[in-house]
Amino acid sequence: MRAAAQRGLWSDALRRLLANRAAATSLLGLALLAGIAIVGPGLSPYAPDQLDWSMMGSPPDWASRHWLGTDRLGRDLYVRTLHGARVSLAIALQATLVSLLIGVTWGAIAGYAGGRIDEVMMRFVDVLYALPNIFFVIILTVVFERSPMLLFLAIGAVGWLTMARVVRGQALSLRHREFVEAAVSCGAGPGRVVFRHLVPNLLGPVVVYATLMIPQMILIESFLSFLGIGIQEPLASLGNLISDGAAEMESAPWILAVPATCLVLIVFCFNFLGDGLRDALDPREY
Amino acid sequence: MVGYALKRLLGAIPTLAVIVVVTFLLVRLAPGGPFDEEQPLPPEIRANLEAAYGLDQPLTVQLARYLRGLLRGDFGPSFKFKDFSVTELIATGLPVSLTLGSVAMLLAVLLGVPLGVVSALRHNRPTDHLVMGLAVLGIAVPVFVVAPLAALVFGIYLDWLPVAGWTPGEWRDIVLPATTLGLPVIAYVARLTRGSMLESLRSPFVRAACARGVPRTRRIWLHALPAALAPVVSYLGPAAAAVLTGSLVVETIFGLPGLGRYLVQGALNRDYTLVMGMVIVYAAMMILLNLLVDIAYAWLDPRVRPGTRH
């Protein structure tokens, strides 16, 4: 019998992920979309805020190189949608990162500490759960200046609740395991135990949940931009492009169709990828 | 049962109180004030205005005053809708939002559950694949994309239903907004129902009913379905959150004079009292809905029902 090649948890998971057709396609699709969003605008002769006076509200037209048409002000829709996708993706990724930092820290501390501290910390999470988090984001955007930077901070600052619950559950189940006791008996302080020993061991569910969080964040950002509370003109985001399109859809449906398709594609891909990751990292599901 | 409901209702009060205090403090964290106009006001006028709204008092005094007002049902004056108190705006908007939300939730249950059951009965056949495919679409396509499309197709191309506006008692006004609002929830309920129905159809008690000669229709709807409803009921809480959030967009797109529109306009105008009032009302609705869901859950599932002994 040949010795099995050494395989760790992560390489195993990767193999399972790539065997899942929907997830692998989504991963490829996302990579492609991200690539186009980065390189694509450079291929067009137009800038995102450039007005083409001769082609206002034009449908897709190859001769003038407005591949996906223009909006009411004559701005190239292809370039604007890709810029919007960049902004939306960047904000979603940063917001996820912020939520990740807060949620993992909060949950790991609560779970490791246990007892009274855990109860108080999780009760706070329960209370904030009572209100859909979009409302907190709206309050934060009312209170602070509207800028892309604060937008992702605000979205991230309210998105960490579920993450905290997931991590706390994991931390609770891990805190009496031998490796934690070993670390404690070697003289590691609580901070070191939590961040050097506990957190690396609960990354599996965190990665899955983070992947599923990104599309949520994209939707929240687009939602706010659609309502006019998020990203402001002249900066494009998928949300405010869809909002523009919705206003013009009767006479120029492509202004809505282009960004809406892009958004739906991104959200679809992330959802399938997240589901695939969950199956890949949690073999019990099979 | 009544005791349980009362206990839960009392337990909701601290939650609401914390939300009120947190939103109040968040709003007061703001670097600017409601009277920061493009042209700065003369200091005397500004001082007078602030005194009139009580903004010159220390924070704790303001909070106490606001809380006392809330207990009397007074949400304070709106800063930007001059001549209107927030309470008046809530009174005009709440009925609209409540109607819209409850119709959407009702649609979700009345359409989602049967769709899920049919899907489960036709497991892995074309009907099942069609329903579940549509469900995935319904979940992934956000309300702010569906709503304009629905308005375009049914309101303008087909001209079946009005695209905007609200006349009390006119049911045609609410069909389009409530359906688009309910769509993701319908889809999710259908998926949940299908999953738990598949499980419940295979369970021993349904087979026992079959063996006893209980007719098929009765077996499906009266034996298998009630047992399969638990996950759907517990999803209704998050569903209510989704509906409330979605109603912000739907009310804006279809021009309904509900709470959502005031919240959005309040946010755009930085009308602090208005936004706070709306958030408190939404939070109260959320908490109440979750309470109802828990009670319904306890009523449906005897294992959770408090006070029963086995």
Q: How far is B309 from chain A (nearest CA, A)?
A: 28
In angstroms, the CA A146 to CA A206 distance is 30
Question: How much is the pLDDT for B100?
Answer: 86
Burial of residue B228 (number of CB atoms within 10 Å: 0-12, 13-18, 19+): buried
Question: How much is the pLDDT for A285?
Answer: 39
- Residue B281, token pair as written in the block: 């009302």
Note down pLDDT in tens along chain B; length 310 residues.
Answer: 677 778 878 878 888 888 888 888 877 776 656 666 666 777 777 777 777 766 777 778 878 888 887 887 777 777 767 677 778 888 888 888 888 888 888 888 899 889 988 888 888 788 888 888 888 888 878 888 888 888 777 777 777 777 766 676 666 777 788 888 888 889 888 988 888 888 888 888 888 888 888 888 888 888 888 888 878 887 887 788 888 888 888 888 887 888 888 888 877 777 777 888 888 888 888 888 888 877 777 777 666 555 554 4
Residues of B in contact with A138 (CB under 8 A): 263-264, 267, 275, 279
Name the least confident of A67-76, A103-112, B246-255: A67-76
- At A161, is the pLDDT very low, low, confident or very high (cuts 50, 70, 90)? confident
- Compare CB distances from A246 to B18, B29, B253 and report the shortest one's residue: B253
Residue of chain A whose Cα is closest to the Cα of B13: A127
Among A271, A268, A214, A253, residue whose Cα is nearest residue A88: A214
Q: What is the pLDDT of residues A189-236, one digit of tens each?
A: 777 777 777 777 787 778 878 888 888 888 888 888 888 787 777 788
Residue B142 near residue A223 (C-beta atoms within 8 A): yes
Q: Look at B272 and A132 and tell me if their CB atoms are within 8 Å.
A: no
- At A1, is the pLDDT very low, low, confident or very high (cuts 50, 70, 90)? very low
Q: How far is B110 from chain A (nearest CA, A)?
A: 24
pLDDT over 70 for what percent of chain A?
87
Residue A237 near residue A251 (C-beta atoms within 8 A): no
**Cis ω before A234 (30° cut-off from 0):** yes
Number of neighbouring beta carbons within 10 Å of residue B159: 9
In angstroms, the CA B155 to CA B148 distance is 10
ipTM: 0.74
Calculate the CA B146 to chain-centre distance. 18
Burial of residue B18 (number of CB atoms within 10 Å: 0-12, 13-18, 19+): middle
CA distances from B308 to B8, B234, B296, B300 (A): 17, 20, 16, 13
Check if A264 contacts B (Cβ < 8 Å). Answer: yes
- Residue A244, token pair as written in the block: 């523009």
Q: Which segment, A135-144, A274-283, B42-51, B184-193, is predicted with the most confidence on average? A: B184-193
State the average pLDDT for chain A: 78
Check if A271 contacts B (Cβ < 8 Å). Answer: yes
- Residue B35, token pair as written in the block: 């009277």
CA distances from A167 to A155, A164, A184, A201, B273 (A): 19, 5, 20, 10, 36
The answer to whether the predicted template modeling score (pTM) of the entire model surpasses 0.95 is no
SS3 A141: helix
